[in-house]
Amino acid sequence: MDCIFCKIVNGDIPSYTIYEDDLVKAFLDVNPDVNGHLLIIPKKHYKDLFDIDEKTLMHIFETAKKINPILKEKLNTEGLTLVQNNGLLQEVKHFHLHLKPQYKEKQRILKPEEIYNIIKE
């Protein structure tokens, strides 16, 4: 399988990992729309919402709830948008949930490495 997200899970491609456990990995998007834009993916390959099991799906949303306070504390976010695409809009055919922080004022987009260092300090 030539899935970029599976390669990230396997460690073949590096990532700026914010959170990881037995089921999921959360890492910063390499082409962020906003500072702190990250993805939560299941470690097991599921194509989309219609392929993933309920337990893993719920765990992904529970992980989003765990990550939100970190984004609030470290990046001073004011809200969070969750986005999950299927079919035509899905660039990578491996289920993933985008977490896109919201800010009161427009932010200059920083490199993922810079955001990673802020979150991990």
Q: pLDDT tens for the chain, 121 residues: list them.
A: 689 999 999 999 999 999 999 999 999 999 999 999 999 999 999 999 999 999 999 999 999 999 999 999 999 999 999 999 999 999 999 999 999 999 999 999 999 999 999 999 8
Catalytic residue among 45, 94, 96, 98: 96
In CATH, what number is assigned to the domain containing residue 83? 3.30.428.10
pTM, to two decimals: 0.95
Reported residue count of the chain is 121
Q: How many domains are there within the chain? A: 1
Euclidean distance between the first and the last CA atom of the chain, given in angstroms as a whole number: 36
96 as an active site residue: the answer is yes
Give the torsion sign (CA, 45, 30, 16, 4).
Answer: positive
Amino acid at 17: T
Residue 19 domain boundaries: 4-120
Work out the number of other CB atoms within 10 angstroms of the CB of residue 99.
24
